[in-house]
Amino acid sequence: MKKISIMMLIVVFITTASFTLFQTKPWNVPADKAKVANAVKSDAASIAAGKVLWGQHCASCHGKTGLGDGTKAAQLDTTPPDFSKAATQGQSDGSLFYKTAEGRDDMPGFKKKIPDQEDMWGLVNYMRTFKK
């Protein structure tokens, strides 16, 4: 009986630990930041500039086509999102801008590496090209 109780305890512990480790916590963006409109027109020039920045700063984790399959993705504690999915594409431009600028956990913030807000908005425009 004692062995069964210990085994049950171990199973409960492993299940709880696994759930905690692999659970994706929501990334809530402040409402005022989420409502910010994209300041850069989505045109060929801004998308091309965003693509360059994506290649320099984002592709290693998020993948060349935004599927979350970059060369460094497997090394992260969290799985990078698939930018072609509705869960990402359904976010406002302001939310994508905020998350890119501020970062969280494995995702570094890029407000210092990409200090020009127009460049950051161009990157958001490029993220929009990953729609399926």
Q: Is the pLDDT of residue 6 over 80?
A: no
- What 3-state DSSP class applies to 126? helix
Q: Is the pLDDT of residue 73 over 90?
A: yes
Q: Is the pLDDT of residue 38 over 70?
A: yes
Q: Quote the Cα angle for 28-34-35, to 5°.
A: 150
Tokens 């998020």 belong to residue:
62
pLDDT tens profile 75-107? 999 999 999 999 999 999 999 999 999 999 999
CA pair distance 75, 4, nearest whole angstrom: 36
pTM (2 d.p.): 0.81
Domains and CATH numbers, the chain: 28-130 (1.10.760.10)
Contact present, 71 and 60 (Cβ < 8 Å): yes
pLDDT level of residue 18 (50, 70, 90 thresholds)? very low
pLDDT level of residue 132 (50, 70, 90 thresholds)? confident
Q: What is the pLDDT of residue 10?
A: 64
Percentage of residues in the chain with pLDDT exceeding 90?
78
